[in-house]
Amino acid sequence: MTIFLIVLLTALVFEYINGFHDAANAIATVVSTKVLTPRQAIALAAVFNLVGALMGTAVASTIGKGLVDTDVVTMATIFSGLMGAIIWNLITWWFGLPSSSSHALIGGLCGAALASAGDDWNVLHWATTDAKGAAAGLWPKVVLPMISSPLLGFFGGAFLMFLLTIFVHRLRPRLVNNLFGKLQLVSAGLMAHSHGSNDAQKTMGIIALALFTGTKSGAFDELPAWASFLRTPDFVVDQWVVVTCALVMAAGTAAGGWRIIRTMGHKMVKLQPVHGFAAETTAALIIHYASVLGIPLSTTHAISTSIMGVGAVKRFGAVKWTVVERILWAWVFTLPVCGLIGYLTERLCVTLGYK
């Protein structure tokens, strides 16, 4: 029971860090365009992240049972995977790099599961089908979206910005700024909502996996009657898990993530309200669609590349490509580094006698 409580606390720490690490995804553009003050933007993001986090559990199911063989997963495996994600998130936050919390968690979990299985790569579900016959596993749910979502973000943002440019090019700049300043409140809310609906579910899936693992191993057999809700004979996401993760993510978002906000909203490209609206709308639609399909998408990838696409239409040289290069390297290293940390942490746990 003690190890479960440690895992639960670690999962909530990850969710909190995820909230302030990825807060920039929802509010960087609305802050940089001066439509809202930082405090107003964080309040908006926290509220809509909370609402979004309460919507659905498809992504949670993918994280909890769709990527690794649950037969090899122990509490130490889950703890190790979370530590890989937490350490990487803190490193990238310190350097102001908008990396993917989703891929950090997935990489950490895969690395830890590989260590638990004695380096048997078959424990990783590369390409399978779910109960409904739909594609599942790391390739269709993680790797392919990791490639396609940045492309959709860049070209989708560019295309929407191109259409908006045709629409507003004869209007006075003040009118354009006033109009899209109001519209950006809507797009920022949609972005925050979609972020909550996808990212909060990842921790829900991890906690559900921990509950299932504890029940299967017999760790909860002697629980008192009042704690019987922890026993989960099958993989389900109980309502208390959903509400807890939603509240913790909202609290993390309320704490802000100023280092990454500066990178996303100021260093990469200078935006006006119309650009912010185009980038946020594009990213929100991509993330929402992924959430419906149960894809643990990187919200960071979607909004970052949408901003790049919008900026490139404004003027190709307007995008600070040296900053983009640093961001891309962080994306490349996220999965392998988190996998390695998760792997080594699991090996350390086994050496110390924790399973």
Q: How far apart are the first and last CA of the chain?
A: 12
If one counts the domains in the chain, the total is: 1
Q: How far apart are CA 100 and CA 90, in angstroms?
A: 12
Residue range 135-151, pLDDT digits in tens: 778 999 899 998 899 99
3-state secondary structure of 350: helix
Q: How far apart are CA 355 and CA 352, in angstroms?
A: 9
Domain span at residue 28 reads: 2-351
- Structure tokens given for 60: 């949670």
Q: How far apart are CA 343 and CA 9, in angstroms?
A: 20
Q: Are 177 and 269 in contact (CB under 8 A)?
A: no
Residue range 9-50, pLDDT digits in tens: 999 999 998 887 776 666 777 877 788 887 888 888 888 888
Q: Which residues contact 31 (CB under 8 A, 6 or more apart)?
A: 37, 38, 41, 261, 265
Neighbours of 198 (CB within 10 A): 29
Q: Which residues contact 225 (CB under 8 A, 6 or more apart)?
A: none
Q: Are 189 and 283 in contact (CB under 8 A)?
A: no
SS3 content of the chain, % helix, strand, coil (to 5): 75, 0, 20
The confidence score (pLDDT) of residue 263 equals 63
Q: Which among 255, 202, 193, 210 has a CA at the least distance from the CA of 15? A: 202
3-state secondary structure of 320: coil
The confidence score (pLDDT) of residue 59 equals 87
The confidence score (pLDDT) of residue 264 equals 60
Strand 135-136 to strand 128-129: parallel, antiparallel, or no bridges (unpaired)?
antiparallel
Neighbours of 311 (CB within 10 A): 25
- Structure tokens given for 313: 């239409």
Rg of the chain over all Cα atoms, to the nearest angstrom: 20
The confidence score (pLDDT) of residue 239 equals 82
Q: How far apart are CA 27 and CA 291, in angstroms?
A: 20
The confidence score (pLDDT) of residue 260 equals 66
Residues of the chain with pLDDT under 70: 23-26, 131, 227, 229, 233-236, 256-269, 317-318, 355
The confidence score (pLDDT) of residue 132 equals 73
